[in-house]
Each structure stands twice: as C-alpha cells, then as structure tokens.
A = this chain, B = another copy of it.
Amino acid sequence: MKKITNDVQNVVWDMLHGFYFEHKDRISYDSKHNIIYRKDLAEIQQDVVILSGGGSGHEPAHFGYVGEGMLSIAVSGQIFIPPTPEQILAAIRMVDKNKSVLLIIKNFKADVDCFLAAESIAKKEGRSVDHVIVNDDVSIEDDVTFNKRKRGVAGTIFVQKILGAAATEGYSLQQLKEIGSSVISNLHTLGVALTPANNPTQKEVSFTLENNEVYYGIGIHGEKGYRKETFVSSEKLAIELMNKLKSIYRWKKGDKFAILINGLGATPTMEQYIFANDIRRLAQLESIDVRFFKVGSHLTSIDMKGISLSLLKIEDPNWEKWLKADVRVSSW
C-alpha cells in the first residue's frame, strides 16, 4: 500500500504543519500539543468556547472545522488514538479563565477517558468546563444480538456546527450542553465499507473484504461491521442504511430531517453524489421533509472506501437555522 507519507512517526505533525501553512492568516498552531485554534481566540466575543478533537485519521475532522461559527480549538491525537489529557488540558488552558469551555467528545472509551480527565483537572483549576458525548452510531454487534454500539461518528460534525453557531448567539454553557444533548438524542448514523482502512502505523488491516463484498456497520477505526454482503449497487446500499435508520426513527410523513452523506476517505465525489441521489429518492418516497442536506468527506477513516448516512430529526427550528448559518472554516 503506497501512502504519501514520510517518517510514519511524524504523520500527524507533518499534516498539521501543512494545514497550518494553508490557513495561517486565520489559524494558529501549537505544535507541541498538536492544537489548531482560532488566531483571534483571545479576542472572540462569545462566552463559551467550543473545543473538540480526537484521534487523527479522520481528516478533515476536526481541525477543518476550526473557525468562526464552529470550533474554536481542535486537538489531534496520533492515528486512531485520542489526544492525551495533557494535550486537551493545554487546549483548555488557552481559553481566558473568565470564559467557559464546552468539550465535544466522540463516544469511544479512550476518548471519553482522556477528555474527562482533562475536564476534571481544569475544573480543579477553577475553570468552567462541561462536555457533550456524541453517540450517533447505531451499528449493531451482529445481525442477531441487536446490541447497539453507540460510537461517535460522522454525526459529530452536525453537533459541532449546531453548537458552534449557537455559541456565537450567546447561549450559556448549561444551555449549550442541553442543546447538544437534545441534538444527540435525535442523531443516528450508519455506514458501509467497500474497502478497509490502511493505517500507516500498523501492518495489518482490521478486516478484509472480497473483491465484490461490502461490510455494513463498520466503525471509523476499522472496527468490524454487522454483515458482509455482495455489492450490487448504490441504491442497494442506500436502502439498507435508510431502512435501518427508519426502524429507529419510525418517522411520520412530514417529519423534518437534516441529512449528512459522508465519504469515508477514498470515496470519489461522483460516487458520493450518486449515493446522495438514492437517499434523496428514498426520502421522497418516505415523504420525510429534508430541510438540510450535506454531502462530502467530512469525518473519514483514513483511506477507507465507503460511505455513511447520518440523519438528524429536527425537533427545534433553531437547529436548521444553525446548520445553515454562515461559517468560516476550511471544510464545512
């Protein structure tokens, strides 16, 4: 597997330097802690600063969402490994002590542990910090047990956008946490892989697929899915993912949704839009009201070829407003 890298120990550092160079007019970079943050962090007017992060390998998540109207700070761990509590704490400490910080955490045990450890220390330092944990993944262990996995995956981007926009309107830390929790309880994601991810720091892939196979319900770190199946068409993938989500939402005609179609890293734009068109048709057949629709490689799994579908049932018209609000980030 040829990968456009140099010393594999330095991939995250190399990448962040490249990103920083592209955006140095509006972004700053702490290369000791792998933190990308708004250059105007000291001057921003909002009371609550939104901070997120996680393992690398999910680009453009999360540094691509740093900027006005979304994240103020993103912390990057090594590939598929969350940032350490020290890194996260260093990020929290960048914020003025008279402001609050809301952490957006993807629901993986290692991520939650590291972020909450940092939060705990920051609170002891007298800081106002709280968090939301995104658990949008509705993949199941296997076809029999229906044990939901509840990992944090692509829907995280919607949470970051909504809370980022709401924060600019002056909501308090407690209010933002409640908005986030309410969004998360209405947010579900399911994905399918056509190829595994090739982690440059590991020799082995976590699963293999035959030339004609797809794998439903995979995770963003190469976690195995719930069923392998022979690939037939984009439409067939769309029907499987949509039906699973329908069984969770049990939507009624006219229910309002926001939809994210997410390429997992090596999925060409053409194929993302073909799949998006299948989802459009299925949504119309179901008579659900799609108020917001977004397509792109937003939270990836290195070079996995595959796609995920996230639905957010819109329970509050503000959510739609915040999804559509102007933003100055590189990758929204």
Residues of B within 8 A of A223 (CB): none
Residues of B within 8 A of A234 (CB): 4-6, 14
Residue A124 lies at the interface, judged by CB distance under 8 Å to chain B: no
Residue A274 lies at the interface, judged by CB distance under 8 Å to chain B: yes
| A274 adjacent to B2 (CB under 8 Å) | no
Q: Which residue of B lies closest to A56 (CB)?
A: B270
Which of A133-141, A160-168, A181-189, A301-309 participates in binding chain B?
Answer: A301-309
Complex CA distance for A6 and B15, rounded to whole angstroms: 35
Complex CA distance for A267 and B267, rounded to whole angstroms: 9
Complex CA distance for A266 and B277, rounded to whole angstroms: 21
Interface of A is mostly: mixed
Residue A273 lies at the interface, judged by CB distance under 8 Å to chain B: yes
Tell me the A225-251 residues at the B interface (CB within 8 Å).
Answer: 231, 233-235, 237
Which of A44-52, A81-89, A107-115, A289-297 participates in binding chain B?
Answer: A289-297
Residue A132 lies at the interface, judged by CB distance under 8 Å to chain B: no
What's the number of copies of this chain in the assembled complex? 2
| Count of A interface residues, CB-CB < 8 Å | 55
| B17 adjacent to A280 (CB under 8 Å) | yes
Complex CA distance for A14 and B233, rounded to whole angstroms: 13
Least CB distance, A22 to chain B, in whole angstroms: 5
Residue A159 lies at the interface, judged by CB distance under 8 Å to chain B: no
Residue A314 lies at the interface, judged by CB distance under 8 Å to chain B: no
Residue A312 lies at the interface, judged by CB distance under 8 Å to chain B: no
| A194 adjacent to B6 (CB under 8 Å) | no
| B4 adjacent to A307 (CB under 8 Å) | yes
B-contact 0/1 string along A3-34, CB 8 Å cutoff: 11110000100111111011000000000000
Q: Which residue of B lies closest to A1 (CB)?
A: B211
Complex CA distance for A274 and B276, rounded to whole angstroms: 30
| A303 adjacent to B266 (CB under 8 Å) | yes
Least CB distance, A79 to chain B, in whole angstroms: 8
Least CB distance, A314 to chain B, in whole angstroms: 16
| B271 adjacent to A212 (CB under 8 Å) | no
Residue A59 lies at the interface, judged by CB distance under 8 Å to chain B: yes
Complex CA distance for A220 and B31, rounded to whole angstroms: 36
Residue A180 lies at the interface, judged by CB distance under 8 Å to chain B: no
Complex CA distance for A15 and B15, rounded to whole angstroms: 31
| B303 adjacent to A4 (CB under 8 Å) | no
Query: What are 11 residue pairs bridging A and B, where the CB atoms are less than 8 Å apart in the complex?
Result: A2-B195, A2-B211, A2-B231, A3-B271, A4-B272, A6-B233, A6-B235, A14-B273, A18-B274, A265-B268, A268-B303
Besides A4-B271, A19-B295, 13 more A-B contacts (Cβ < 8 Å) are: A3-B271, A5-B274, A11-B274, A14-B273, A14-B274, A15-B274, A21-B280, A22-B293, A57-B270, A59-B268, A59-B269, A268-B303, A270-B302
